[in-house]
Structure 1
Amino acid sequence: MSKILVVDDHAVVRQGIISILERSLSRAFYCAEAGTAGEAEAKLSQEKYDVLLLDLSMPGMSGLDLLEKLHRERPELRILILSMHPEEQYAVRALSLGASGYLTKESAPAELVVAVNKVLAGGRYISSALADRLAEYLLSGKETGLPHEALSARERQVLVMIGAGKVPKQIGAELGISEKTVSTYRSRILSKLGLSSTTEIIRYAIKHDLIS
């Protein structure tokens, strides 16, 4: 029997995913759920899972940070990203950090089932649009060289949220961190991108299509 762990900070989303799998997944499976990175790590320490369905936006440790940590500590664990963020923002990075696939939450339920089946079978799942983007990335033979590529996963999340016009209080509440910590990330972003103000961060995010 396959064992799947669904990690998302919204209980309704977790239950929706599990419901889709229960209706449509052809193989026998057991499904558990976790609402934070800490809960996910606790469950993984207690039981062996075949596939982790992981959201990127969670309070505390981000999904990308958890992905990187788990891939380093448990390279045999298959991790399928299921995120609200469009592929152009995070998919290539997630795959480079060890993800076995990337799906947006706007994907049809049937696509989720296909992706889970493929990952459970030991394969990788990417959409045709992402396949084209990956081909361009590989054929270029080098990184894009854009300054935001050097940001950490959390710094990039904060960059996108600032670019979308959110203030530190909103960002802190959504990410489960303090306003002071948000300000620290903002300072790092300004330094790494060579910018001097929030307005310039917003312009940068718009220019590079980082806002969904």
Structure 2
Amino acid sequence: MKDLIKVMLVEDSPEYREVVGLAMQRESDIELVKTFGTAEVALRTLQGLAAGAVPDLILLDLNLPGMSGLEAIPWIQKYCPQVKIIMLTQSDREADVLKAINLGASGYLLKKSRVVQLMEGVRSVISGNHLLDGDVARYITMALQSKPSALPIEKPLSEREMEILILLGDGLVKKEIAKELGIGFSTVASHIRHIYEKLQVENAPAAISKAYKSGLLE
């Protein structure tokens, strides 16, 4: 472990930012180097940072105004591939946990966690471990152990729909998927609508979660 762990916090609540900041001031091995209220501003800063100024770990709120924490993960990995990410959220929804981990987050903590748990989590992730809040560990365990037959898919997805589903699982949005596959935005939107209809879900996180449970995604 490094002598000093440099942490960036992306969180829209000023009160929570203050709590975390005060807590880290008491830690001799952890330093809060930057705080942001939106993912967009944080990403612009990360994109322009020199190598020596890149934080070791980012505490990232799941539900941010504008770009969500989940949507920000692929961009963080693009700009700073070595940075570790711990998701901070009030959500213990199985789909959120699965999506965050699938996108590459190293940890997932509920905001109700005690400050000491947060500090220990930062140290644990920097040491190379993965972190799951005790209250949500059972959700991810149950999801990963679900048998494919538990959620059968009545209407199979086409090859193109599977391509798009995989890209959704990688965190890409419609515009990025269109560019990746070389097809129109409206075509992507139409395919996604058909995916939702076939999987009987209403949004991308739910589609990814059901795809895992049904065996469509590994």
User: Which of 5, 20, 44 matches 2:8?
Assistant: 5
Over aligned residues, Cα RMSD in angstroms?
A: 3.5
CA distance in 2, matches of 1:146, 1:75: 36
- 1:34 aligns with 36
CA contact (8 A) 2:107 2:131 kept: yes
Further displaced range: 98-107 or 79-88: 79-88
Q: Which residue number corresponds to residue 182 of structure 1?
A: none
Is there any run of 5+ residues in structure 1 with no aligned partner, and where?
Answer: 156-186
Q: Percent identity?
A: 28
Gaps of 5+ in 2: 154-164, 174-189, 210-218
CA distance in 2, matches of 1:89, 1:111: 23
Tell me what 1:122 maps to.
128
Please tell me whether Structure 1 or Structure 2 has the larger radius of gyration of its CA atoms: 2
Q: Which residue of 1 aligns with 2:197?
A: 194
C-alpha change, 1:61 and 1:104, in structure 2 (3 Å) is: same
In 2, Cα distance between equivalents of 1:69 and 1:127 = 24
Equivalent residue number for residue 25 of structure 2 = 22
Structure 1 pair 75–143 and aligned structure 2 pair: CA distance change class (3 A): farther
Q: Matched residues in 1 for 2:68 and 2:150: separation?
A: 23
> Is the alpha carbon distance of 1:118 and 1:63 closer, same or farther for their aligned partners in structure 2, counting shifts above 3 Å?
same
Q: Is the 8 A contact 2:7 2:30 kept in 1?
A: no
Q: Does 1:97 align with 2:103?
A: yes
Among 57, 62, 65, the alignment partner of 1:56 is 62
Q: What stretches of structure 1 move > 4 A for 4+ residues in a row?
A: 141-147, 150-155, 187-192
Q: Is the 8 A contact 2:24 2:31 kept in 1?
A: no
The count of aligned residue pairs is 166
Distance across 2 between alignment mates of 1:145 and 1:81 = 28
| TM-score of the two chains, using structure 1 as the length reference | 0.63
